[in-house]
């Protein structure tokens, strides 16, 4: 469970709620894990943690802040993270400071020995499971749903760590990718629908698990494959074992990974993220082009889609907005007003490129509309004669309950207004979103088959592939806890 951009003012974006990484078979496991978390920093910036195992003892360090703030190569915490196995986690939080008690990976001494776990996703039956566990004597140290898995593993009567974990996971509902350490082994698991990503790589004799392939690249690991939906891999001194312990379900990989969450240089489920975003932009141009002089991306998330749009429309691409990449945590504003007033700290119009021009702005999504409105005003102040906006996703009308931090439905602008009304609200001359069928075409499908969709697209369609707890659709999930 953790975030998407190192910038604190991405108010018009969903935020992924974490990155996970694990490695088995190298004495420098913690160093490689820290590097992997660096590459996955876009998925979470509020906190990071690493747990390592040396064959006898577990070692852990967790801290608020970016990976580099917590895991300097020559620091005492890094030197103490000894062992040939390590797992790591990046976390994102939406309001206020991260609580240290919620920073993963979690580690515990259970009846069979030490156990450490890091989790990307959310459990939709977390409230019911937690209440039942507390009622029967479990003592929780955190407020996240991830700890529920630890308690279920501890209570299982199955023999062997992998069987205990399978027993625990069969009791939960929701989306998850996990990396675990126990009994001198590294375990990786994806939920039966494969909503959240997890890839397998190999570096010399070491095996690597990562949320994205960019985490493999930074440690020099060769991509082997994506874990299958519902697959568990167990890695130990004998090699790697694949287990398919759950009833087969239709694959419903999160389509927002391609639209925004994943790093553009990653490859997920056989698709290059960069090329997927370019294809989405090209499809967007086919569906809703308007006469204009320039295509301008809203950086950085709109860049690949804008390139695809410009190429398909055969009009110039220009960097009409320049992003400041050096905004630090010092400038995080805790209030909505503070975030809105601070947009100019992130973006500045390139007036020499846009003055006197009809501009098409391309962005990945509109969530609340606040940042979009500010950017449109910025374009007009810089001299743009027309401002049109094209969005590389369908209107976001539903919250996510599977590991993405989203506003309540009443804060999603597309759930409250028509497209024409949103256009008036944000001040553009025209506004278009890609259609849901167009999004599927860009992903290589003929259209979205309502009887057999290929992705989890519930934020656009309301088609939630995994059961929601009673009343959950009216609430939101933040950091794995039902609010």
DSSP string, 103-160: PSPEEEEETTEEEEEEEEEEETTHHHHHHHHHHTT---SSSSTHHHHHHHHHH---SS
Q: Is 456 annotated as a binding residue?
A: yes
CA 208 from chain centre, in angstroms, equals 19
- Secondary structure class of 165 (helix, strand, coil): helix
User: Which among 18, 180, 214, 452 is annotated as catalytic?
Assistant: 18
Nearest-5° Cα angle at 186, 180 to 192 = 60
Strands (E), 173-328: 174-182, 185-190, 199-203, 206-210, 222-226, 232-236, 239-243, 253-254, 267-268, 271-272, 294-297, 321-323
Q: Is 364 annotated as a binding residue?
A: yes
Q: Is 478 annotated as a binding residue?
A: no
Q: Of 3, 11, 1, which Cα lies nearest the Cα of 298? A: 11
Torsion of CA 327, 333, 339, 343, to 10 degrees: -20
- The DSSP H or E segment spanning 391 is strand 386-391
Residue 20: CB partners within 8 Å, gap ≥ 6? 87, 88, 89, 118, 119, 120, 177, 178, 179, 198, 209, 210, 211
HEC string for 5-53: CCCCCCCCCCEECCEEEEEECCCCHHHHHHHHHHHCHHHCCCEEEEEEE
Q: With left for phi above 0 and alpha for psi between -120 and 50, is residue 349 left, alpha or beta?
A: beta
Interstrand relation of 294-297 and 358-363 (parallel, antiparallel or unpaired): parallel
Calpha distance 164→155 (Å, rounded)? 8
The sign of the torsion formed by the CA atoms of 323, 326, 327, 329 equals positive
Residue 84: CB partners within 8 Å, gap ≥ 6? 24, 25, 26, 27, 29, 53, 54, 55
Q: Is 363 annotated as a binding residue?
A: yes
Q: Is 205 annotated as a binding residue?
A: no
Q: Is 301 annotated as a binding residue?
A: yes
- Secondary structure class of 66 (helix, strand, coil): coil
Calpha distance 43→214 (Å, rounded)? 12
Under 8 Å between Cβ of 261 and 288: no
Active site residue 18: yes
| Residues labelled as active-site residues | 18
Which residues are part of a known binding site for [4Fe-4S] cluster? 254, 400, 456, 459
Which residues are part of a known binding site? 254, 301, 363-364, 400, 456, 459
Which residues are part of a known binding site for Mg(2+)? 301, 363-364
């Amino acid at each position: 469970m953790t975030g998407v951009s190192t910038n604190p003012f991405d108010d018009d974006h969903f935020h992924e709620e974490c990155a996970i990484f694990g490695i088995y078979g190298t004495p420098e496991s913690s160093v490689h894990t820290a590097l992997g978390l660096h590459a996955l920093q876009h998925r979470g910036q509020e906190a990071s943690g690493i747990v390592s195992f040396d064959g006898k003892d577990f070692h852990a360090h967790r801290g608020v802040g970016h990976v580099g703030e917590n895991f300097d190569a020559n620091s005492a915490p890094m030197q103490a993270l000894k062992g040939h196995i390590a797992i790591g986690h990046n976390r994102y939080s939406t309001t206020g400071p991260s609580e240290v008690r919620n920073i993963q990976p979690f580690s515990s001494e259970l009846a069979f020995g030490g156990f450490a776990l890091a989790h990307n996703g959310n459990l939709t039956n977390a409230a019911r499971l937690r209440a039942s566990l507390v009622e029967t004597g479990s003592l929780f140290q955190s407020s996240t749903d991830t700890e529920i898995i630890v308690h279920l593993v501890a209570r299982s009567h199955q023999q062997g760590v992998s069987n205990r974990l399978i027993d625990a996971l069969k009791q939960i509902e929701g989306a998850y990718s996990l990396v675990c350490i126990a009994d001198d082994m590294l375990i990786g698991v994806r939920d039966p629908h494969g909503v959240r990503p997890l890839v397998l790589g190999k570096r010399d004799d070491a095996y690597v698990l990562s949320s994205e392939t960019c985490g493999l690249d930074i440690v020099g690991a060769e991509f082997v494959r994506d874990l299958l939906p519902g697959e568990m891999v167990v890695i130990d001194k004998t090699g790697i074992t694949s287990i398919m312990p759950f009833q087969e379900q239709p694959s419903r990989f999160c389509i927002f990974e391609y639209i925004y969450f994943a790093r553009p240089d990653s490859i997920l489920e056989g698709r290059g993220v960069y090329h997927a975003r370019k294809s989405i932009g090209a499809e967007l141009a086919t569906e809703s082009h308007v006469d204009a002089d320039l295509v301008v991306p809203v950086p950085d998330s709109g860049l690949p889609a804008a390139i695809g749009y410009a190429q398909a429309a055969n009009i110039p691409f220009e960097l009409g907005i320049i992003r400041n990449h050096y905004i630090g945590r010092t400038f995080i504003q805790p209030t909505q007003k503070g975030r809105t007033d601070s947009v100019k700290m992130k973006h500045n119009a390139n007036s020499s490129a846009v003055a006197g021009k009809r501009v098409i702005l391309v962005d990945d999504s509109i969530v609340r509309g606040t940042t979009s409105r500010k950017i449109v005003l910025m374009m007009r102040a810089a001299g743009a004669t027309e401002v049109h906006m094209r969005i590389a996703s369908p209107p976001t009308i539903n919250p996510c309950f599977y590991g993405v931090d989203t506003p309540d439905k009443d804060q999603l602008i597309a759930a409250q207004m028509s497209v024409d009304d949103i256009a008036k609200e944000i001040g553009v001359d025209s506004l278009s979103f890609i259609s849901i069928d167009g999004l599927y075409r860009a992903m290589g499908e003929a259209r979205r088959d309502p009887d057999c969709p290929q992705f989890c697209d519930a934020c656009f369609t309301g088609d939630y592939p995994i059961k929601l707890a009673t009343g959950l659709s009216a609430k939101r999930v933040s950091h794995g806890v039902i609010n």
